[in-house]
Amino acid sequence: MNEKPLITKMRENYRYFGGLSLIYGLIFTFCLYKNMSGITFPICVAITIIFAILFMKKIGFSLQRNSILYITGMILLGISTSFTSSFFLHFFNLLGIILLFFVFMIHQFYNDINWNFPAYLKRIFILFGTVIECIPYPYWHGSKYVNRNKENKNHNTLIAIVIGVLLSLAVLCVTLPLLLKSDLMFAKIFGEILKHINFSTIFGVSFMGILGFTLCYAFFSALCKYNFPEGRARKLKYYNPIIGITFTSVISFVYFVYCMIQIMYLFIGIHAGLPENVTYAQYARGGFWELLFVSFINFVMVLMCMYIFSDNLVLKFVLTFVSGCTFIMILSAAYRMILYIGAYHLTFLRILVLWFLTVLTFIMGGVIISIYMKKFPLFQYIVAVVSVFYISLSFLRPDTIVAKYNITHMDEASCENVFYLLYNTSWDAVPEIAKLDKKVDLTKIKNENEFFEEQIKNYFIYVSEENNDIYFRKANYSRIKAKLVADRWLEEH
């Protein structure tokens, strides 16, 4: 589709698109101002999708097939945010929603069926850059709209008033502080007035409103302004597959030896031949992070070989072998982590690592399929795998799992284990922490730390006080649950 008519249509219909963006900015502010985890967060996500559909309908687009999958993913991530108090999940839920929204809108505007993995990533970055480029568009198009309507006296009067107010505020920002400093009586009178005005809130709300309006208009301007090239010839030449076969074969030999050692010494558990002063437990628990990093490098390496070398059956076989070795490395890393958890209990990071290994296993399965099926939609497959597993992780609320597992498996409580739960988990863990004295013998820790009972009590007081401001806009399941549990614990103790 030609780019000029689309962006021109937005400019010529500024009253509709600008007005819709302004309404979105107001809703965006109401939902998200100092509130990135309340019940209004999923509402904002749903309204964003509705506004996107309204924008598309105006320029002649309708929902494409499979779009419901992207919409469902965004809604579920939004709901998940209002069910947890974990900052990690809040951040990555938001990031996931943004990425899904980008892919959703690209799918609406362009024929992305034949795009390969690098092509899709490239276009996401191009779209992101074009959005930044289009930030001035809502104001540029607005000025053109004003110039076209100069003959409308009522319209001109309103614009003149708005400009006058903005100019007066700009001047007062400089002159008012000087006047307040110059006269004590003037400062006293205005001080009584100004102390009832929360300027930080006014600034914050105004900034959020402008941000919502600008991003909304700029995003759709970017989609209309830039058409991704369709069917353009590949610029990067294919390189001789012998290069790929040679270097991957050398790597494959090293991987083969490594994997045989994993099978014999780690999985089968042959103790003979281990280095002196190294126990099997020490051997099994070591090297986890290195294996994780190598597995990720293998994923990138296989993708690059598929993209830069010309098609070759031997290269496909070697890449399949590297992928197979990667599965063994993933299994080795997972086994080491499980042993580590058995010795040192769970943490949020350890759950995240096991999650990543599971996701990487499925992704490598998709990579193997794409080695032999050029038209396999690898990017969409990876988006689907990551979305399904991440949404599941988000709803499971890992801090709850960590607290429940650690309390259940505490043979004897230590300060380190308990303080990790108190100071390194979100409020998702509060209901489980409240059961600590009922499930674990705390005698030893009380003898070691005379202030332990006071610290526990202060923890629940802090939880209760920090969640006093829960009302409709900021309602969050995890915060409400933590508040109720903390109040009940304090009543009982």
Token readout for 26 is 């107001």
To the nearest 10 degrees (0 to 180), the angle between helices 288-308 and 241-261 is 160
pLDDT at 229 over 60: no
Secondary structure percentages of the chain, helix, strand, coil, to 5: 80, 0, 20
Is residue 10 within 8 Å of residue 48, measured between CB atoms? no
Is residue 45 within 8 Å of residue 77, measured between CB atoms? yes
Token readout for 366 is 């998709």
Of 78-87, 176-185, 228-237, the one with minimum mean pLDDT is: 228-237
CB atoms within 10 A of CB 121: 12
pLDDT at 159 over 50: yes
Please state, in angstroms and rounded to a whole number, the distance separating the CA atoms of residues 250 and 247. 5
Q: What's the CA dihedral at 457, 463, 465, 469 to 10 degrees?
A: -170
Q: Which of 257, 245, 340 is nearest to 292 (CA)?
A: 340
Q: Report pLDDT for 120.
A: 85
Residue 440 in 3-state DSSP?
coil
- Predicted confidence (pLDDT) per residue in 171-209, tens digit: 877 787 777 778 777 777 777 776 666 767 878 888 899
Token readout for 90 is 């809040």
Q: Report pLDDT for 481.
A: 95
Please state, in angstroms and rounded to a whole number, the distance separating the CA atoms of residues 226 and 11. 15
pLDDT at 389 over 50: yes
* Full-model pTM: 0.86
**Mean pLDDT across the chain, nearest whole number?**
85
Q: Report pLDDT for 55.
A: 93
Please state, in angstroms and rounded to a whole number, the distance separating the CA atoms of residues 219 and 129. 10
What percent of the chain has a predicted confidence (pLDDT) above 70? 88
Is residue 309 within 8 Å of residue 241, measured between CB atoms? yes
Considering only residues 50 and 175, tell me which one the structure prediction assigns the higher pLDDT.
50
Q: Report pLDDT for 269.
A: 63
- C-alpha 117: how far from its chain's center? 20
pLDDT grade for 486, boundaries at 50, 70 and 90: very high
Token readout for 38 is 């309340």
- Predicted confidence (pLDDT) per residue in 266-310, tens digit: 777 655 555 666 555 555 556 667 777 888 889 889 988 888 888
- Predicted confidence (pLDDT) per residue in 339-358, tens digit: 788 877 888 988 998 999 89
Please state, in angstroms and rounded to a whole number, the distance separating the CA atoms of residues 319 and 83. 42
Q: Report pLDDT for 162.
A: 67
Q: Which of 429, 420, 438, 439 is nearest to 460 (CA)?
A: 429
Measured CA to CA in angstroms, residue 464 lies from 32, 88, 418, 470 at distances of 23, 22, 19, 11
What percent of the chain has a predicted confidence (pLDDT) above 90? 42
Q: Which of 16, 8, 104, 106 is nearest to 57 (CA)?
A: 16
Q: Report pLDDT for 295.
A: 85
**What phi and psi, each to the nearest 5 degrees, are found at residue 209?**
-65, -45
Q: Which of 74, 22, 12, 84 is nearest to 43 (CA)?
A: 74
Measured CA to CA in angstroms, residue 157 lies from 13, 115, 151 at distances of 21, 51, 11
Q: Which of 392, 351, 397 is nearest to 37 (CA)?
A: 397
